């Protein structure tokens, strides 16, 4: 029997281009989903920011006491979600993406506003919210430790609805974050601030809870 040739070189070429097309479509879908999520979270973030600024203005500028406790827990959860999803989007689009950078900066600003408002609210309405500042890092060498401490904090906040968590990316090029780091003497991550207590790399939830209780 004679030796065989390839049946059709053209078929290999067509297969290659079709495979490239399918490959690009899949990446396109993945990118599109990330883009739509960014749009959605940006809208949610703006809504949360509006709510916070409005409440703060009513209290500070119009001197009206609005001691509605129920809103705080939801806003705290929303803010945490915004922070986590921004980190996910940062991984997808890259650290240098302008939209992500802007949103993370804006997020940090909104968080500080809310943190300040909660402290005022505690005084004005005799509430007992416990604001907790968490400085984390997404750097490859530090991200695991940060995720561990983030998990501890999540567990603590699920037990205690009075705990308000404010997370800041220690490496973010943001004036607000830099000032926070100076104010609280933050040099490393993961670091947790509860009241005047600084806890560096807590290994157990008890290390944090003793300052809450």
Partner 1 sequence: MEFITLVIYLSMFIGIFALVFYVLSFIEGNKRKRLFYSDFELPKVSVIIPAYNEEETIERTLLSITKSDYPDFEVLVIDDGSKDRTLEIAKKFEGKYIRVFHKENGGKGTALNFGIKHAQGKIIFSMDADTTVAPQSMKNMVRYFKEQEVMSVTPAMVIDNPRSVLQRVQSIEYLAGLFLRKSFASLKSIYISPGAFSAYRKSFFDKYGSYDEKNITEDLEMALRIQSLNYVTENCPDAPAYTIAPSRFKELLIQRRRWYFGLIKNLLNYKKIISRKYGDLGSFVIPIAIVSVFFAIFITTYFFFKILFEVKKEILFLNGINFDFGNMVNFNFHIVERFLFQLFSNPVVLFVIFFMFVLIAYLRYALKKLDRSVKFILDVPLFLLFFSVLFSLWWIVSIVYSFFYQEIKWR
Please give the residue ranges that form the binding site for partner 1 (CB under 8 A): 1-8, 11-12, 14-16, 18-19, 22-23, 26-27, 29-30, 33-34, 37, 77-78, 80-81, 84-85, 88, 92, 144, 148, 151-152, 154-159, 203-206
Supply the DSSP string of 100-151, one letter for each residue. HHHHHHHHHHHHHHHHHHHHHHHHHS----EEEEEEE--STTTHHHHHHHHH
CB nearer to partner 1: give 85 or 170: 85
Q: Of 29 and 67, which CB lies nearer to partner 1 in the complex structure?
A: 29
Residue 93 CB partners (closer than 8 Å, separation 6+): 34, 38, 99, 100
Report whether 191 contacts 199 (CB < 8 A). Answer: yes
Nearer to partner 1, 12 or 50 (CB): 12
Strand (E) or helix (H) holding 76? helix 70-93
Taking only Cα atoms into account, the Rg of the chain, rounded to an integer number of angstroms, comes to: 23
Give least dist CB 183 to partner 1, A.
27
Per the listing, tokens 């240098």 go with 96
Nearest residue (CB) to partner 1, 78 versus 113: 78
Which residue, 28 or 195, has its beta carbon nearer to partner 1?
28
Minimum Å distance from CB 82 to partner 1? 9
Q: Is 192:199 a contact under the CB 8 Å cutoff?
A: yes
CA–CA distances in Å: residue 74 to residues 79, 107, 139, 192: 9, 16, 29, 22
């Amino acid at each position: 029997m004679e030796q065989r040739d390839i049946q059709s070189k053209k078929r290999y070429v067509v297969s290659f281009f079709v495979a490239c097309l399918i490959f690009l479509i899949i990446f396109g879908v993945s990118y599109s989903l990330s883009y739509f999520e960014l749009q959605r979270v940006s809208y949610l973030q703006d809504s949360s920011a509006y709510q916070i600024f409005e409440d703060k203005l009513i209290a500070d500028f119009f001197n009206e006491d609005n001691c509605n406790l129920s809103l705080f827990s939801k806003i705290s959860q929303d803010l945490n979600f915004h922070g986590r999803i921004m980190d996910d989007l940062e991984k997808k689009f890259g650290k240098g993406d302008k939209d992500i950078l802007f949103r993370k900066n804006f997020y940090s600003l909104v968080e500080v506003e809310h943190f300040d408002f909660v402290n005022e609210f505690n005084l004005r309405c005799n509430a007992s919210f416990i604001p907790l500042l968490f400085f984390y890092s997404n750097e490859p060498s530090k991200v695991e430790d940060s995720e561990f401490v983030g998990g501890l904090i999540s567990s603590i906040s699920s037990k205690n609805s009075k705990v308000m968590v404010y997370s800041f990316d220690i490496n973010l090029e943001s004036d607000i974050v830099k000032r926070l780091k100076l104010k609280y003497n933050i040099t490393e991550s993961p670091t947790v601030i509860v009241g005047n207590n600084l806890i560096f790399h807590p290994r157990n939830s008890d290390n944090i809870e003793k300052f809450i209780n």
